Structures are given as structure tokens and as C-alpha cells.
Amino acid sequence: MVPERLAPILDAVRPLAGRFDAAGHRIYLVGGIVRDLVLGRALSENTDIDLTTDARPEVTAALVRDWADAVWEQGARFGTVGLKKGDTIFEITTHRAEAYAPDSRKPEVSFADEVEADLSRRDFTVNAMALRVTGVAGEAPELIDPFSGVVDLAQGVLRTPLSPEVSFSDDPLRMLRAARFLAGYGLVPVPELLVAVQALSGRIEIVSAERVRDELSKLLVVADPSPGLWFLVDNGLADHILPELPAMRVEQDPIHRHKDVLAHTIAVVAKTQPSLVVRLAALLHDVGKPKTRSIGPKGVSFHHHEVVGARMARERMRALRYPNDVVEAVTQLVYLHLRFHGYGDDLWTDAAVRRYVRDAGEHLDELNELTRCDCTTRNERKAKMLAARMDALEARIAELREQEELEAIRPDLDGQAVMAHLGLAPGREVGQALKMLLELRLDEGPLPEAEAYRRLDEWWDARS
């Protein structure tokens, strides 16, 4: 009997399977979709369907071309044909063996006739399972599990189908992917996997920055990335892809032996919501501390670490080829993450609130969350005090939002009005006038038009 959760997937695949059956070829569901079906995890409505077949790419393309709504063959030389039917995306890959030559970023691909050969070259046993699908309605699929992936899932073990040295040499990105599976599925690596990662960690440098970025991003948005992040640091991978992490293994306070910066950082990441921008900001918010650490009569300090950290965060994210909008958002959050702590209750004026909101821009909610989660103290009284202060700030922001459009603060007069009133042509003086008016707007809130012109005249007369 077909499990209920599997029925929609089989319904989507069977028309394809019928075509491959008629042509004398076999086709299998493979990869993460099989793993999650075994675990009973709910599948997303827009889950892409990965399949593998003994048919060569050109045969696959011919079999699906008059059935699919769209077909793309850019990956055919690597064995993959993509297609879309309705709202569903399929990727059909010929059974293959894939390996990286030494010092190469591109895989060398050879095709195989048996699914077991394909499964042997996959990353982990929990992903090396396949379901043989036929075009016959009502017929249950056959589970192909030559490396006991079901047992490893049940026992919570992370292993590679072949020796880890072979698997990680084939594709070094798998070492980074191991971190995601440890964190996302609660698996424990077998000892030989750890030994292989420690020996081969430097080989991750042949993998493109884009692939490293994508895998790191997937790790960061699992419910709790902590086990994966510690795996990267403890086994040498972070030294090659994110050296700022191991550099943070310095004590916050060597006298009182408070947790080191790295332990604090990973704790902050775990507290934040699984949003990529927030998680990246949490991961990088204290990267400037090692470079700014100093010990004086009052203990350890990290003066201006947010400034240094923002620059370091920008450089690292650019090296990992993150999109510009993500780079700018995370850099700004790192730069601003101490802003809240710079104000005492008696100095939290409306002008300060306006500037805080203006500087955070569209990332205000992320900044507030990062600020809240940055508190990892075990001192319950201090934690409650900081939480209450943030509650008060958010309430103050809400009050001001009811009175004025905080996120869209502009000078009370625009450039055209300034030029007409002062008889100026476009130029530096107009920009200076607008900057002055913006500062007034931030300090005093919206001004009546007549008052704005009067203050503009005062400023202009003072310049003269």
C-alpha cells in the first residue's frame, strides 16, 4: 500500500515513469525527497523532484520533450535534463560517477548503467537511497538502499557510502554539507568521517565561492545551526572558508573567565529566527573583537569593534559572493548592533529614536532582534533589564510611528523649494541646506511649512 504522503509525488512522476518504462529504461526518485519521505517530514508544496535514470541525457530529453511544458538541457553534459510540467520542476540525471580532479573546481563526469553505482557516489548514506517508480498506477515503489541509509537515519548516524576520503575527494563541498546534516537532522558523525575532514579540510579551497556560500546559507537557516558551526571550527573547515570564526576564540573577560567570543556568537546565532540576513549578522556581529581587544585597569574592552567588524563582514561576504543587497544589510546590522546600548534611559529622546529608525531603515526589525539576542548573560536580573529596555524602545517607536512616518523621514522642504526660495542653481549649497533641514526634522519632528522656510532663512543668513 502506498503511504498517503507519497501519493502526490507518485502521481506527479508516474506519467514520466510510463514513458521511460515503454522505452526500456528505469527511473527512480532520489536524494533528499526520499530521505524526508522516510523520516515522515512534510514536503514543501513547491519541492522540486529529483530523479535518476539509466537513460543517457539525449534519450531523456527526447522522452520528455513532447510531454513537458518546458525543457532545458544546459546541464546535459553533466547528465542532467531539467523540465517543468504545470507548477512542478523535475531534474532527471543519468546515473553517474562524479569526481573532482586535484586542484580542479569542475567535476569530471562518467555515466553508469546501475542505480547502485550512482548511489555509491552520493554524499551520505542517508541521501543514498532511491525509490524505483513505475508507470503502473497503484504499484508501490521499490526502495533501493544498498548502504543502509534507513538504519543510519534511525540510529542518528552520519556516514558516507564509500570511505569518507573517497567521498570528500570526489566533492570537497560534502565536508561543509556534513555540518548542515549534523545540525538539521541531529545526526552524529562516525569517527572516520571526522578524521577525514580534519585531514582534507584544506581541499575545500578548490570549491567555488558560490557553492560554499550556498551551502553555508543552508546551514545558517536550519532551526539550530550550532552543532554545524562548531563542526566547522573544530575540524578545520572554518580556517579556509570563514577564518573569522576560529579567530574569535578569545575570552570576553580573562579575569572572570566569561565565555569566549566564539561561544557567545554561536549562542546568539541559535537565538535568532532562521532568516539568512539576521543569522549572517549574528554570525559576524563580533568579528571585530579580536582585532580591537585590549586589557586595561578596568578589564577587557573592544572599543569600536562594531566599526572594524562591519568592514570585516563586508569583505568576507564579498569574498563569498553574497548579493550586494545582503552584503549591505548585514554590514549595516553589524555596524549598528551596539547602537541601542549607547543610550541611557534618560537620553532616549525622540530625536535619538528617529535617528535609530532612520539608520536601520528597512532592517529595523532585524536590528531589534539582533540586539535582543545579543544578550546571552546568565545574570537573570541583567537579562530582564535589557529586555525591558528594548520593550520600551519598541513601544516608543510605535508611538512615534502613529504621529509621523518614521521610515520615510525627509526634510520638510524639497530641493526645488530650497532653490526657488534662495534663488540657487543645483549644487553643493542646496545639498547642505537639505542636510540641515533633515537634521531639524530628526531633532524636532515635522515643522510647519512657514517655520521650515524661517529656519532655512536663518541658516542662510548665518552662512552669509
- Model confidence at 45, pLDDT cuts 50, 70, 90, reads low
CA pair distance 130, 114, nearest whole angstrom = 12
CA pair distance 188, 157, nearest whole angstrom = 5
- Model confidence at 353, pLDDT cuts 50, 70, 90, reads confident
- Model confidence at 404, pLDDT cuts 50, 70, 90, reads low
Q: Residue 40 is placed in which grid cell?
A: 515522515
CA pair distance 440, 457, nearest whole angstrom = 13
Question: DSSP alpha helices (H): ranges in 343-427?
Answer: 350-360, 364-373, 380-403, 415-422
pLDDT, one tens digit per residue, over 64-80 is 999 999 999 988 888 99
Highest mean pLDDT pick, 33-42, 265-274, 353-362: 265-274
Strands (DSSP E) contained in 219-351 are: 293-296, 299-302
pLDDT, one tens digit per residue, over 414-426 is 888 888 888 888 8
Q: Which residues contact 305 (CB under 8 A, 6 or more apart)?
A: 286, 288, 289, 291, 292
CA pair distance 282, 263, nearest whole angstrom = 12
- Model confidence at 230, pLDDT cuts 50, 70, 90, reads very high
Q: Which residues contact 42 (CB under 8 A, 6 or more apart)?
A: 5
Highest mean pLDDT pick, 8-12, 209-213, 434-438: 209-213
- Model confidence at 188, pLDDT cuts 50, 70, 90, reads very high
CA pair distance 439, 431, nearest whole angstrom = 12
Give the pLDDT of residue 259: 60
Tell me, what amino acid is at 279? R
| 140-162: average pLDDT | 94
Q: Enter the pTM of the model.
A: 0.81
- Model confidence at 256, pLDDT cuts 50, 70, 90, reads very low
